[in-house]
Amino acid sequence: MFEWNTWRAMTILDGGNIVENIKSDDNGNPFSTASGNMADIVCDYGKFALAVEVTMQSGQKQYEMEGEPVSRHLAKLKNETGKEAYCFFIAPKSMNPA
């Protein structure tokens, strides 16, 4: 899964507490994508937080599925942590190919 591989890459980059919002089995293998209402991956780097959002959607569908939730998840993370917060949005193509 794209989310799981992204989480693995984020943990390799090091330097923070990296938490995935992915359901995994007893062996750590994912069996579903991230649930809603929070970022796919949340990284705490002490002075700031990072919401990581991952999608395979593209075009208009990407905007419909990700546009509002991504900004909402970032605002939620900023409010919950009280820290400066950023979002890393990963997709195969941008929402606006212009």
Q: Is residue 95 part of a domain?
A: no
- Quick: pLDDT tens for 33-59: 777 778 889 999 999 999 998 887 777
Confidence grade of residue 16 (pLDDT, cut at 50, 70, 90):
confident
pLDDT of residue 96 exceeding 70, the answer is no
Exposed, middle or buried by CB within 10 Å (0-12, 13-18, 19+), for 12? exposed
Q: Is residue 46 part of a domain?
A: yes
What per-residue confidence (pLDDT) applies to 97? 55
Q: Is residue 86 part of a domain?
A: yes
Confidence grade of residue 95 (pLDDT, cut at 50, 70, 90):
low
Longest C-alpha distance within the chain, in Å? Answer: 44
DSSP one-letter string for 63-94: HHHHHHHHHHHHHHHHHHH-SEEEEEEE-SS-
Q: Is residue 56 part of a domain?
A: yes
- CA torsion through residues 58, 97, 40, 56, sign: positive
Least confident stretch, 21-25, 52-56, 83-87: 21-25
Which range marks the domain in which residue 54 is found? 2-90
Q: Is residue 96 part of a domain?
A: no
- For residue 8, the domain's CATH number is 3.40.91.50
Total structural domains in the chain? 1
Q: Is residue 77 part of a domain?
A: yes
